[in-house]
Amino acid sequence: MMEIGTPLGLGFASGINAYLPLLSFAVSVRWLHLYKVNPTFAFITSNWCIIALVILTIVDFVADKIPVIDHTWDVTHTFIRPLTGALVAAASSNHITLPISTASISSHLLSTFSAAYAATGTIQSTGVVLLVIALLGGILAAMSHATKATTRLVSTFTTAGLLNVFLSFGEDILVCIAILLSLFVPAVMLILIVLFFLIFGPLIIRALNRQRN
C-alpha cells in the first residue's frame, strides 16, 4: 500500500509546480529506469514532451519570482496544476498492483484479467483503479495549489509582495523534497500527505465556505 505514495506525492507536488514533478518522473522512467510508466501515458517520455516540460519548468521558475506576474501565473494555473497532478499520478500508477482472490471476483473479471493474474498474481492499475488514483492526484494538487495561492495572497497584502520571492524559493525546495521522497521513499511521502490533509484540509474547506457566503 505504501507504494501509492509515489503517484500521490507527485500529484501533491504538482499543485505547487505543475511541470517539475512530471518532468522528474519522465526522466526517472526514460534514463534512470526507476519506474515504468503506465502504457496509456507513455507519451510523457517522448523527446518532444520532455523538451516541452523542460521549457515550461524554466518559465515557471522565473515567472513565479516576478511581482504581479507571479499572481497571474498562479491564477492561470488554477486548473492546469490539478490536471497535471492527475496526469502524473495516473502515469506513475503502473507500479501499483492489487492482490486479488479468484474466489471473490466474478467470472467476467476473471476472464478479463486471467492472463495478467496467471503471470503475476496481481492486477495492475487500470480502469477504475487508475481513475481513482488520477482523481486523488488531482485533488491533492488542487489542495496544495490552494494553500500556495492563499499564502501568496496573504504575503502580498501584508508585506506588499516583498516576501514572495523568498516564498517562491522555499516552494522550490519543498517541491524538490516532495519529488525525491515520492520517488525514493514513498512510504514517508504518504505519511506526510495524510498529515497535510488533516492539518490543511479543514482550513481550506472553511476558506471556501467563507468565499461562498
pLDDT over 60 at 73, yes or no: yes
Question: So what's the pLDDT on residue 24?
Answer: 97
- Distance of alpha carbon 115 from alpha carbon 94, whole angstroms: 17
What's the burial of 188, exposed, middle or buried (CB within 10 Å: 0-12/13-18/19+)?
Answer: middle
pLDDT over 50 at 111, yes or no: no
State in Å, rounded, how far the first CA of the chain is from the last one.
Answer: 39
50: Cα separation from own chain's centroid = 17
pLDDT over 80 at 51, yes or no: yes
What pLDDT band is residue 101 in, cutting at 50, 70 and 90? very low
Residues paired with residue 98 on neighbouring β-strands, in sequence order: 123
State the average pLDDT over residues 75-96: 91
The pTM of this model reads 0.82
* Segments making up each domain of the chain, as ranges: 2-206
Q: Mean pLDDT score of the chain, rounded to an integer?
A: 84
* Single-letter residue type at 154: V
Question: So what's the pLDDT on residue 125?
Answer: 53
